[in-house]
Amino acid sequence: MASGLFALFDDVAAMVRLSAASLDDIGAAAGRAGVKAAGVVVDDAAVTPRYVQGLKPERELSIIWRIAKGSIRNKLLIILPAILLLSQFLPFLLTPILMVGGAYLCYEGAEKLWEKVSGHHPEETAAAEDTTTDPAEHEKTVVSGAVRTDFILSAEIMVIALNEVDTEPFLSRAIILVVVAVLITALVYGVVGLIVKMDDAGVALAAKPSRGVAALGRGLVKAMPVVLATLATVGVAAMLWVGGHILLVGAEELGWAWPYDLVHHVEVAVHDATGALGGVLGWLTNTALSAVVGVVVGAVVVAVLHLVPRRGGKAAAH
C-alpha cells in the first residue's frame, strides 16, 4: 500500500513538473511573440494619445479605459477566434494576410511621412471642423474612431504573434495568444495613461513649495510635447521597419526569395566587417533596409490612393 502511495506521489510530482515546464514554454513563447510584435506595439502606443487631445483632463483616463476595453474585445472576441481557425484549417492564408497587414503598415508610415513633408494633416483639419456640441456624443465618436484604428493594429499584433507560435499545439497557441493580447493591451494603455497625465502631474508638482519638486514639475510639462513628438517619430519608423520586414520575409516564404536574400547578404557583410559591434550593426542594417522597402512600398500605395480619387473626380466632371 505504501509503495502504491509513493507511486501516486511520483505521478503527481511528474505531472506538476510537466505543467511547470508547459507554463515555462508558454511564457517563453508569449515573450517571443510579444517582442516580435514590438514595432506595432510602439506604433499603437504612439497613435492613441492623440485621441484624447483637446478633451477635458478629468475625462482623459475614462476615455483611455473605454478604448482599452474596446481593444481587448477586438483581440479576444473577434481577432483571436478568426486567426486560430485560419491557423488550424487554412494556415496557407496566414502569410498573405500578414503581408497585407505589412503593406498597410507601410502605407500608414509613408502617409505620415508625406503629411510631414507636405504640411497637410487631415486629422487636425477634421478635428477643427468638428462642430459637435454634445460632449458625450463627441466622446463616443472619439472612442469608436480609436477602437476602429486599434482593430487594425491589434490584428497585426496578433497575426505577428501567431506567426511566431504557429508550430505549437492548438491549446498552447490559444493560451499564448490570450496572454499576449492581455499583456500588450495592459502595457500599451498603461503607458498611454501615464503619457497623457504627465503634464497634469507636472502642473501639480510645479505648484509645490519645494524648488526641486517644482523644477521637476516644470520639466515634465516642457517635456510633454517632446515625448509625444518622439513617440510619433518612433511609431512611424516602427511601422516602416516592421511593414517592410514582414513583406520581405513573406515574399521569401512564398518563393520570391531574392529581396530578402539581398538584405541578409548585406547584413552578414556588415556583421563580418565590424567586429565586436557586428551583431548590433548587422541588425541595424537589416532594420534600415527593411524600412527602405517599407518607404518604397508605402509610397507606391499612397501615390495610387491619391491618384485614383483625382482621376475618378475628373471622370465624373466630364
What pLDDT sits at residue 77?
Answer: 93
What pLDDT sits at residue 54?
Answer: 63
Query: Which grid cell sits at 245?
Result: 520586414
CB contact set of 105 (below 8 Å; sequence gap of 6+)? 40, 43, 156, 239, 240, 242, 243, 246, 294
Does residue 200 form part of some domain? yes
Query: Which grid cell sits at 113?
Result: 511621412
Cα torsion for 230, 235, 236, 239, to the nearest 10°? Answer: 160
Does residue 94 form part of some domain? yes
What pLDDT sits at residue 121?
Answer: 60
User: Which ranges of the chain does DSSP label H, i.e. alpha helix?
Assistant: 2-36, 38-47, 57-73, 80-89, 94-118, 122-129, 135-164, 170-196, 198-206, 211-253, 258-273, 278-317
Separation of alpha carbons 257 and 240, rounded Å: 20
Number of domains, the chain: 1
Does residue 2 form part of some domain? no
Is 134 in a helix, a strand, or coil? coil
What pLDDT sits at residue 17?
Answer: 41
What pLDDT sits at residue 32?
Answer: 56
Does residue 17 form part of some domain? no
CB contact set of 75 (below 8 Å; sequence gap of 6+)? 154, 157, 158, 181, 185
What pLDDT sits at residue 20?
Answer: 40
What pLDDT sits at residue 226?
Answer: 84
What is the domain extent for residue 185? 24-119+133-307
Does residue 285 form part of some domain? yes
Does residue 209 form part of some domain? yes
What pLDDT sits at residue 203?
Answer: 83
> If you search the block for the grid coordinates 508547459, which residue do you land on?
22
Those residues of the chain that have pLDDT short of 70 are 1-55, 120-133, 308-318
How many C-beta atoms surround the C-beta of residue 274 within 10 A?
A: 14
Does residue 12 form part of some domain? no
Does residue 108 form part of some domain? yes
